[in-house]
Structure 1
């Protein structure tokens, strides 16, 4: 299948065995990614695959919980407004599911870290997840929160640590080990979209090396998920891509070369910190039950989860 081919709303509806109106509802809720060509809505196969993967994760979490453990029960308050959590990791899908079980209308927006912070600044979402690295301070997220939320006091809450690195072909035949290797003539990469945490990590390292994207083969070949860049390396379409360790374990015929331990964190406006929704979210992520969900899944370190690490 050509994964770059645009799919129509009807084709996606046929794949998912639902009506076209259901697809439009998913778009409105931000649960499936789409784009427009003129006035027509189109999807990539990756958009559909990502939606299916997230839906399966939520169903698995729901099936495993016929009741809420005591450490996840907060109260009977029913949320009257949508509570939107922005970010692309499955840990956020599970969190949203627990929030809904607590009566909070939690929705998901699947966009990258940079655009997520802009959406928080604009008041379009209530919580955003971020993993943006600043090369000058070797610090995650806080410098970007200060820049992208000017004049808005915010709180940074630690969620998990993940390892970022290079996806390379099995056996690493081109011996790709460092950021400078990406500038070699015999290496072609596939890149993440602008604003994604992995893209920012790449761009900051290239800046520190005095390199530009124009010097990197494949730099302008962009796609929108860890899974799709890993799959491109697996199929031989590219020699290298940047992504997290967890996805590398899900794709055949690739190896993972670790380069950076990153901090994946939640950001909320300080004015919302004591709201019922945010307090419920904090109770959930700090609970033993939530930590246990991810304790045995590779690629997650839940040490210090739920800890407030900065206020801006």
Structure 2
């Protein structure tokens, strides 16, 4: 099967015709990562002379410096350089899951046009870091997989209308479990569906490094001095956020509910790390990757859902075997806030949520 790769790339054209090229933005990202222009050149394969000329051209284009040079050839980004790099990181965090889904669709279309065998498993799932690992390991295991990132509701809806074989969704532990299950209830079929554990993960507040505004919990999000970035309505994370706000006495339909929204945990983290917000809500892994402070508030379980009739297929059994492997569990357990010790364990839907009224049909 062909492998399609789509990467976000952008440029900036000034009035008068000058253009900031993607290669310079990538160079600035490497300077931020490595702490000097020389080390950025080593990482990119550029000569120091050529890289310095690119920086000078960028300076001339904007009339403002992009780098600050220090003794010993150490470099830091100037404020304008910081803004450009964070714009690039936000674009990447926001668009990469979407582009990966489109790439998977294109792979399927190309395979069909070339009369190649179709994907043996179609997975629609709420985006998560353990799911990324699962996709990588299934591909390494030789599975022809078609996947799409979407909200949990969109995933289970697609599964029940035969648009995919497996849906990925997450449900909070504890007092919010019933509300989490209710979120998906119209598409749940007790006695006909199976759940497979992927991992647990911690969700909470992502805060700028050092927590300069001294945010301590959800109630602080109602403060006028705290800029918040939210999640997209309809997502499982937005449901959990609203439940936690209500618990803290904050109206989810108030100002917090009208904050800017992002569609993934990484995009929320990038938004906060760029300085555009003081706080966001999402999983711990995203916060740590962007070097943010994190206040854990809720643990939830990430599941895969499939029809019982599909569970015994070779493709599904291969997926369950990969999930239950030591390789997957070890990789997922490296993610901050994730616990995959029960990955690959299988439950009937009505048994997984005993006591929540999910009775087997006809029983």
TM-score (norm 2): 0.60
Relative to structure 1, is the Cα distance of residues 134 and 193 closer, same or farther in structure 2, using a 3 angstrom cutoff? farther
In the alignment, which residue of structure 2 is the partner of 1:303? 341
2-side partners of 1:205 and 1:51: how far apart?
Answer: 28
Could you tell me how far 1:280 is from its partner in structure 2? 1.1
Secondary structure of 2:294's counterpart equals: strand
RMSD of the alignment, in Å?
3.4
2-side partners of 1:261 and 1:134: how far apart?
Answer: 6
Find out whether 1:247 has 2:286 as its counterpart.
yes
1:104 to 111, 130, 143: 143
In the alignment, which residue of structure 1 is the partner of 2:134? 95
1-side partners of 2:179 and 2:254: how far apart?
Answer: 26
2-side partners of 1:265 and 1:123: how far apart?
Answer: 19
Could you tell me which runs of 5 or more consecutive residues in structure 2 were left unpaired when the two chains were aligned: 1-7, 13-20, 24-90, 102-115, 351-363
1:170 to 188, 209, 220: 209
Find out whether 1:236 has 2:275 as its counterpart.
yes
Secondary structure of 2:205's counterpart equals: strand
Relative to structure 1, is the Cα distance of residues 251 and 141 closer, same or farther in structure 2, using a 3 angstrom cutoff? same
Find out whether 1:185 has 2:224 as its counterpart.
yes
Could you tell me how far 1:241 is from its partner in structure 2? 0.5
1:258 to 296, 303, 324: 296
- Is the CA contact (8 Å cut-off) linking 1:188 and 1:240 kept in structure 2? yes
- Is the CA contact (8 Å cut-off) linking 1:85 and 1:92 kept in structure 2? no
Secondary structure of 1:165's counterpart equals: strand
User: C-alpha deviations, 1:60-119, integer Å up to 9, x for none?
Assistant: xxxxxxxxxxxxxxxxxx974441222212432332344345453211201122222222
TM-score (norm 1): 0.69
1:61-210 paired onto structure 2 within 5 Å? 80-87=118-125, 88-133=127-172, 137-139=176-178, 142-149=181-188, 153-209=192-248
Relative to structure 1, is the Cα distance of residues 177 and 208 closer, same or farther in structure 2, using a 3 angstrom cutoff? same
Bigger radius of gyration: 2
Relative to structure 1, is the Cα distance of residues 258 and 146 closer, same or farther in structure 2, using a 3 angstrom cutoff? same
In the alignment, which residue of structure 2 is the partner of 1:67? none
Could you tell me how far 1:139 is from its partner in structure 2? 4.9
- Is the CA contact (8 Å cut-off) linking 2:273 and 2:290 kept in structure 1? yes
Could you tell me how far 1:168 is from its partner in structure 2? 0.8
Secondary structure of 1:132's counterpart equals: strand
- The structure where helix makes up a greater share of residues is 2
2-side partners of 1:235 and 1:184: how far apart?
Answer: 20
In the alignment, which residue of structure 2 is the partner of 1:65? none
2-side partners of 1:209 and 1:47: how far apart?
Answer: 29
Find out whether 1:287 has 2:325 as its counterpart.
yes
Tell me how many residue pairs correspond in the alignment. 252
